[in-house]
């Protein structure tokens, strides 16, 4: 009798730990593992998958999907490592020439990434009226002068609602540089907001080789383990995307770690609306789950010093983690952390560095079945002060995120969850779900495939626009790996646009659905 193909592996790579879980079709966690993140992040992925497969033994043949949440893209930007050279074309002259491309980027990052830029005629008004005709001759002259370029990023004014010029430029680039030229269009990457959307598009283009190496590494690891499994990447809105989609839009993986934790916490606790605290080794990430999905931030976010406007979870990060150092004299908390070196450097494990883990152990928390050795009175006083300060920081953060709602449950997950007290003032009931220490990997394993679409439209056309944008979002979700028969619209947001001559709304639609069954998405592998 053939074994059912009903198991999924979720892997999440964090700054301190790499977690992996196996979940069956009923949502039961069958195996889980946590190990220190390696400098070679791919090594941590390999170890995590190998460890949970060792628990499964003969049942490994039941694995049909592997989902990954990774910090590869973020690390590449922050470390300025392995980024591609990008030429950027902005369509909008003469209306959008006052601020050059990559304005506000750290100089070292801009010098590393930018292979050339041009601000040329084109772009549209908010109602779709062309600002100027597309400057085709200028585009060709710019392309003729390019050297040492890996990709081209194209950004047009109001292209999310009128993308035709960007699509035409993509055709020109491929005709001129060859059919395999890599072209990235801003209307595929972000919503309105020219400079932030341009930044996100250039970052996405710069990350292509990084993403390709990670997707190839994941495929290699899965093949080495003999798994016949479809592979997916977690994206920053708490949904999944296929490997090919992730390789094309790697910038969407930034922020997937907090999104995984929020989704995993909601799933493990059964709370569709809650505040989530994920306490890791270096930070505590706090977010809000609304109807089962992470609440998204409405503010621009900085990644590696670059201001962007792509969707990110509304997450508040604090320098409060298990490895956060405590000053042995004053009891001050952080900003340093021993991170993945905690098992060698914390007092609890025989090291010499006071940490919040030591403070929690001193207060009676159960940490790895260990008891803190007796310390000097001054050190113990400092540890108590440090833990009190950490509790105050957590209390203030919960108050900021709750928006005055004290009834929302507080779901505590992560390996450092013992730092959160059971009676945090201002919070609702504290919930500590089983397997909460690997909630991020659980979130990756149980997520749906998703897609987003945005468009500006006159107010009188809103109903037709909602239908049109919904179809686009559904198509993107299917492209990301959702089952075409089960994908649905899960969120519609209408935002008035204040700078239009006529009443205008921005329509944003999110679609999501369960992953297509094995064999229905062969192109995702």
E strand or H helix that includes residue 444: helix 439-446
Q: What is the DSSP letter of 514?
A: P
Q: What is the mean pLDDT of residues 34-60?
A: 85
pLDDT, position 55: 92
Q: Which CATH architecture has domain 84-206?
A: 3-Layer(aba) Sandwich (3.40)
Which range (288-297, 373-382, 492-501) has the least confidence?
Answer: 492-501
pLDDT at residue 519, rounded to an integer: 46
- State the Cα–Cα distance between residues 34 and 48, nearest whole angstrom: 7
* Per-residue confidence (pLDDT) for residue 525, from 0 to 100: 33
Residues 6+ apart with CB under 8 A from 505: 456, 457, 459, 462, 465, 494, 495, 496, 497
d(CA 73, CA 102): 18
**pLDDT at position 523:** 40
Helices (H), 19-177: 41-56, 72-79, 107-113, 136-144, 164-177
pLDDT at 149: 96
Q: Compute the CA torsion angle 444, 445, 447, 448 (nearest 10 deg).
A: 130
- By the 10 Å C-beta count (0-12 exposed, 13-18 middle, 19+ buried), 297 is classed as middle
pLDDT digit string, tens, across residues 328-380: 999 999 888 888 788 899 999 999 999 999 999 999 998 888 889 899 999 99
Tokens found for residue 90: 């902005």
- Residue 421 — very low, low, confident or very high, per pLDDT cuts 50/70/90? very high
Between CA 65 and CA 5 the distance in angstroms is: 9
Averaged confidence pLDDT in the chain: 88
| pLDDT for res 498 | 67
User: What's the pTM value of the predicted model, to 2 decimals?
Assistant: 0.81
Bridging pattern class, strands 63-69 and 7-13: parallel
**Nearest to residue 316, comparing CAs of 328, 299, 332, 304?**
299
Averaging pLDDT over each range in 124-138, 141-155, 237-251, 273-287, which range is the top one? 141-155
Q: What is the pLDDT of residue 517?
A: 64
pLDDT value of position 239 = 87
**Which is more confident, 128 or 143?**
143
Residue 521: per-residue pLDDT: 42
User: How many other C-beta atoms lie within 10 A of the C-beta of residue 522?
Assistant: 9
63-117 pLDDT tens trace: 999 999 887 788 788 888 899 999 999 999 988 888 999 999 999 999 999 999 9
> Cβ-count burial of 2 within 10 angstroms (0-12 exposed, 13-18 middle, 19+ buried)?
exposed
Calculate what percentage of the chain has a pLDDT beyond 90: 53
Question: Exposed, middle or buried, 197 (CB in 10 Å: 0-12/13-18/19+)?
Answer: buried
Residue 514: name the closest of 489, 481, 476 by CA. 481
Name the nearest CA neighbour of 411 among 236, 524, 261: 261
Q: What is the pLDDT of residue 3?
A: 67
When mean pLDDT is compared over 6-20, 170-184, 208-222, 499-513, the highest value belongs to 170-184
């Amino acid at each position: 009798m053939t074994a059912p193909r009903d198991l999924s592996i979720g892997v999440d790579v964090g700054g301190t730990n790499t977690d992996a879980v196996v979940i069956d079709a009923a949502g039961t966690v069958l195996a889980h593992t946590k190990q220190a993140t390696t400098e070679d992040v791919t090594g941590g992925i390999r170890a995590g998958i190998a460890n949970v497969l060792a628990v499964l033994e003969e049942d490994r043949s039941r694995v049909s999907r592997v989902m990954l949440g990774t910090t590869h893209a973020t690390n590449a930007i922050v470390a300025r490592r392995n980024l591609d050279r990008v030429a950027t074309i902005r369509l909008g002259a003469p209306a959008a020439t006052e601020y050059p491309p990559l304005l506000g980027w750290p100089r070292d990052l801009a010098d590393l990434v930018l292979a050339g830029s041009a601000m040329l005629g084109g772009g549209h008004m908010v109602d779709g009226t062309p600002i100027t005709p597309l400057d085709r001759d200028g585009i060709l002259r710019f392309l003729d002068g390019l050297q040492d370029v890996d990709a081209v990023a194209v950004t047009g004014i109001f292209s999310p609602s009128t993308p035709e010029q960007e699509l035409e430029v993509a055709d020109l680039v491929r005709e001129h540089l060859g059919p395999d030229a890599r072209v990235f269009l801003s209307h595929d990457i972000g919503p309105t907001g020219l400079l932030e959307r341009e930044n996100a598009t250039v970052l996405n283009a710069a990350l292509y080789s990084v993403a390709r190496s990670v997707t190839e590494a994941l495929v290699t690891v899965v093949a080495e383990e003999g798994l016949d499994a479809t592979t997916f990447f977690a994206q920053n809105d708490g949904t999944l995307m296929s490997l090919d989609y992730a390789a094309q839009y790697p910038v969407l993986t930034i922020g997937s770690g907090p999104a995984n934790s929020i989704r995993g916490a909601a799933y493990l606790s059964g709370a569709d609306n809650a505040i989530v605290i994920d306490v890791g080794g270096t930070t505590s990430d706090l977010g809000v789950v609304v109807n089962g999905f992470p609440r998204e931030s409405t503010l621009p976010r900085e990644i590696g010093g670059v201001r962007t406007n792509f969707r990110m979870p509304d997450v508040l990060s604090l320098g409060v983690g298990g490895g956060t150092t405590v000053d042995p004299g004053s009891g001050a908390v952080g900003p340093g952390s021993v991170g993945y070196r905690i098992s060698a450097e914390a007092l609890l494990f025989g090291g010499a560095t006071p940490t919040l883990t030591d403070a929690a152990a001193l207060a009676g928390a159960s940490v790895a079945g260990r008891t803190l050795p007796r310390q000097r009175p001054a050190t113990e006083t400092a540890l108590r002060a440090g833990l009190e300060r950490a509790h105050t920081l957590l209390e203030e953060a919960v108050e900021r995120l709750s928006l005055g709602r004290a009834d929302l449950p507080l779901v505590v997950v992560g390996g450092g969850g013992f730092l959160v007290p059971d009676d945090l003032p201002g919070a609702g009931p504290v919930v500590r779900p089983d397997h909460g220490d690997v909630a991020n990997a659980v979130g990756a394993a149980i997520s749906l495939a998703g897609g987003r679409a945005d468009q500006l439209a006159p107010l009188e056309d809103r109903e037709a626009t909602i239908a049109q944008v919904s179809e686009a979002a559904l198509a993107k979700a299917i492209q990301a790996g959702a089952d075409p028969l089960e994908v649905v619209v899960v969120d519609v947001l209408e935002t008035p646009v204040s700078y239009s001559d006529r009443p205008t709304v921005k329509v944003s639609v999110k679609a999501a659905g369960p992953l297509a069954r094995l064999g229905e998405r062969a192109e995702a592998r």
